[in-house]
Amino acid sequence: MRRQLFIALLSLTLSCIGWASAQTVTVFAASSLGDAFSELADRFEAQSPGRNLVLNFAGSSTLATQLLQGARADVFASADEVQMQRLVAENLVANGPHPFAGNRLTILVPEDSELTDASELAAPGLLLVLAGPEVPAGRYARQLLELLDRRWGGGFATAVLANLVSNEPNVRQAAAKVALGEADAAIVYRTDARGLERVRTVTPPDAEAIAIRYPIARLSEAPEPELAAAFIAFVQSPEGLAVLARHGFAAP
């Protein structure tokens, strides 16, 4: 009885390990790609039975750190070039990076908010959340504030940053704080506002001046290099680009 239990436990463990090592491609993707990449993964898996795609979403800076610390993955899709270059510099990229999508910043506010213009972000007492300064969305948002500061002057960026109540670990967390009604505003990607209820967006001036480009790359230690290349090709195929466009992403 005891031996049987032991064997059962052991084989359970081994079969778990075996299952995980079936033909699986692991994709680390920026959290803003969440919905779009989930759909891309479903379609990619449906193309040929037996292939399995595992997605790991987080802030690109978190993902890059994980990869630099030895996390194994096949593909990295970053929300900016800075995080991708951290991997390129350490020779972790085998092929790429290829830009595959573009995006734009917007201001997310609760549906019942009275905010109608970006200049009101500086109003004293407003609760603003941003992604952290290391996170691409947080870096872009601070660039936008600098541009608006140049446009309006009067210490606009400083006043807005005085309203900052949280540096969130990724852009979706920042958006969630607004959707929950706890924060008054967040600067996020236009795509993040889709699928959220009880929110609306306010388009800031100068948003188009910030070029947001998503690069994708095959990693040099990819356990499944062929499948990784196939997925990257699929993302850039007409079908893949159509999915991205439907989720609000621009062409790169």
Partner 1 sequence: MTRLPLPAVLVASAAMVLLLGLPSLALLIRILRPELWAGLFSPVVIEALRLSLVTTGLSLGLILLFGTPLAYLLARFDFRGRALLDALMDLPLVLPPVVAGVMLLLVVGRRGLLGAPLSALGISIPFTTVAVVLAQLFVAAPLYIRTMKGALRQTPNDLEAAAVTLHASRWRTFWRVTLPLTLPSFVEGCVLSWTRALGEFGATIVVAGSLSGRTQTMPLAIYATLERDLDAALALSAILAAVAFGLLLAFRLTLERRTR
Q: How far is CA 45 from CA 23, 36, 170, 240, 246, in A?
A: 11, 14, 27, 13, 19
The strand pair at 212-219 and 75-77 is best described as antiparallel
Contact status: 166 vs partner 1 (CB under 8 A)? yes
What does the block give as tokens for 81? 């070039």
What residue has token string 């969440």? Answer: 34
Contact status: 127 vs partner 1 (CB under 8 A)? yes
Contact status: 134 vs partner 1 (CB under 8 A)? yes
Binding mask 175-194 for partner 1 (x = CB under 8 A): --x--xxxx-----------
Among 14, 20, 89, 164, binds partner 1 (CB under 8 A): 164
Contact status: 77 vs partner 1 (CB under 8 A)? no
CB-based burial, 39-71: b 16+ in 10 Å, e otherwise: ebbeebeeeeeebbbebebbbbbbbbebbeeeb
Cβ at position 8, least distance to partner 1 in Å: 18
Cβ at position 237, least distance to partner 1 in Å: 32
Handedness of CA 30, 35, 40, 43 (dihedral sign): positive
Part of the chain binding partner 1 (CB under 8 A), chosen from 11-19, 63-71, 225-233, 243-251: 63-71
Contact status: 165 vs partner 1 (CB under 8 A)? yes
Number of residues that bind partner 1 (CB under 8 A): 23
Among 27, 29, 33, 64, binds partner 1 (CB under 8 A): 64
- For residue 101, the surrounding DSSP H or E stretch is strand 93-103
Judged by CB, which is closer to partner 1: 103, or 163?
A: 163
Q: How far is CA 192 from CA 107, 152, 167, 188, 238, in A?
A: 10, 27, 17, 7, 23
Contact status: 159 vs partner 1 (CB under 8 A)? no
What does the block give as tokens for 200? 């609306």
Among 168, 178, 207, 229, binds partner 1 (CB under 8 A): 168
Contact status: 167 vs partner 1 (CB under 8 A)? yes
Among 25, 33, 41, 135, binds partner 1 (CB under 8 A): 135
Starting at the edge strand found earlier in the chain, the sheet holding 105-110 runs 164-168, 128-131, 185-189, 105-110, 199-202
Q: How far is CA 139 from the centre of its chain?
A: 13
Binding site for partner 1 (CB under 8 A): 59, 61-62, 64-65, 69, 127, 129, 132, 134-135, 164-169, 173, 177, 180-183
